[in-house]
Homo-oligomer: A and B are copies of this chain.
Amino acid sequence: MSETAASSSAGAASPLAPAAFPLVHPVPGVDLLGAAIGLKKQVGRRDLMLVRLAPDTAIAGTLTRSRCPSAPVDWCRRQLPGGCARAIVVNSANANAFTGTAGDQVVDNTVDAAAALFGCPREEVFVASTGVIGVPVPPRHIGDSLAALLGRLRPDAWRDAAAAIMTTDTFPKAASRQLDLGGTTVTISGIAKGSGMIAPDMATMLGFVFTDAAIAPPALQAMVGRATDRSFNCITVDSDTSTSDTVLVAATGAAGNTPIADHRDKAARPFIDALEAVMADLAQQVVRDGEGAQKFITIDVSGAASARAARRIGLAIANSPLVKTAIAGEDANWGRIVMAVGKAGERADRDRLSIAMGGVTITRNGQLEPGYDETPVAEHLRGQEIHIAVDVGVGKGRATVWTCDLTHGYISINADYRS
């Protein structure tokens, strides 16, 4: 348990990693940095992200459903209803989870320091931590580090910030979009970390998204909840849920658009679409960094009783070790998909079930397609980008879920390693 986080981030990048760090547009009203404050054992490795937000920035978020959440998650859950943020402080290398009252004191101290630095109420400071579980954080270390960093805040430090929140990630993750919102150009830029729940000493999915759009906090919260359901809640590497999962979306309002007061407002639609696109992009990058991943798998479920039912069926397929190992083995083993649909606990009509892989129909209406030839499916499975489509034949619910295969690499990372 004494191993530092990020120990494996020095390793080779995932074979599914993007070729380069993407272009990230600065977001007016947002300055950030990624710095090394000595939490990671490797000297000079970035382990702290600090974000300064313009006054009156709206914030919304979704937090882990774990019944054993970390101290920072508890803090954010209490502050989110306030809807305003001036600062976000995130450290890697230590999750500050299962650390008792000492963990709450670390959060208090960090929040005090950031509030003093930016001259804002404590309620407008948000925090997140990722790394070792159950090891105390040095009591005042994070809070005491902040003042010296102030001069390094910049509008374009996305790569440094993305690196500072990495643990076992093999590449930094970011996504950015610009859109026209009623005649005003609006930017959405975000970063994320995660590569499976991974070891508790290197746990967690984190996502931080920033926009200069003006959006009322309740409208933003509604948008973020929905976008999370269609992005971070649609991915799975190993079905494990971290103590610390945190997604925060901050809207500075600096773009000067007519403020969006209601997420159901038709004018909000282009923003919602772009927000979902950025968050889905980030979520997919987390899957592409899945431990041991060799193949990126997209699962489209249709014909379910509801969108929620479709997502549950998709996740049952995506979490099935048998489906994931079959794809690792490039085996067109569609029977495992039938099994996974069956265990999802949602309505499905066995006699109307249709399954396709790589665009090739394998079963239709519950029976093997006459003349089914496995050759093109086997060819598809030899690629890196795998597509599965399942129609369960009972309704109109749809969902798309993303996952990766389950390989010897996953076992090696998680079993062969000794803390």
Residues of B contacting A155 in the complex (Cβ-Cβ under 8 angstroms): none
A334 within 8 A of B: yes
Is A325 in contact with B411, judged by CB distance below 8 angstroms?
yes
A286 within 8 A of B: no
Pick from B335, B342, B343, B407: contact of A415, CB below 8 A.
Answer: B407
Cα distance A367–B99 in the bound complex, in angstroms: 6
Cα distance A242–B339 in the bound complex, in angstroms: 6
A248 within 8 A of B: no
A273 within 8 A of B: no
Cβ proximity bits A382-409 to B, threshold 8 Å, 1 near / 0 not: 0000000000000000000000011110
Interface residues of A in 334-349 (CB under 8 A from B): 334-336, 338-348
Residues of B contacting A322 in the complex (Cβ-Cβ under 8 angstroms): 197-200, 238, 240, 414
Is A97 in contact with B406, judged by CB distance below 8 angstroms?
no
Prevailing SS type, chain A contact patch: loop
Question: Do A411 and B415 form a contact, CB below 8 Å, given A335-B201, A338-B68, A350-B98?
Answer: no
Residues of B contacting A329 in the complex (Cβ-Cβ under 8 angstroms): 414-418
Question: Do A321 and B66 form a contact, CB below 8 Å, given A100-B366, A200-B336, A350-B98?
Answer: no
Cα distance A243–B348 in the bound complex, in angstroms: 13
Residues of B contacting A366 in the complex (Cβ-Cβ under 8 angstroms): 98, 100
Interface residues of A in 1-19 (CB under 8 A from B): 1
Cα distance A268–B132 in the bound complex, in angstroms: 51
A390 → B minimal CB distance (Å): 11
- Closest partner residue, chain B, to A405 (CB atom): B415
Interface residues of A in 100-136 (CB under 8 A from B): 100, 132-134
A320 within 8 A of B: yes
Residues of B contacting A374 in the complex (Cβ-Cβ under 8 angstroms): 1
Cα distance A238–B406 in the bound complex, in angstroms: 12
Can you list 23 A-B contacts with CB-CB less than 8 angstroms, sorted by A residue number?
A1-B374, A67-B342, A67-B343, A67-B345, A67-B347, A67-B348, A68-B342, A98-B338, A100-B366, A100-B367, A134-B368, A198-B322, A199-B333, A200-B336, A239-B319, A242-B339, A243-B339, A243-B342, A321-B406, A332-B419, A408-B411, A408-B412, A410-B411
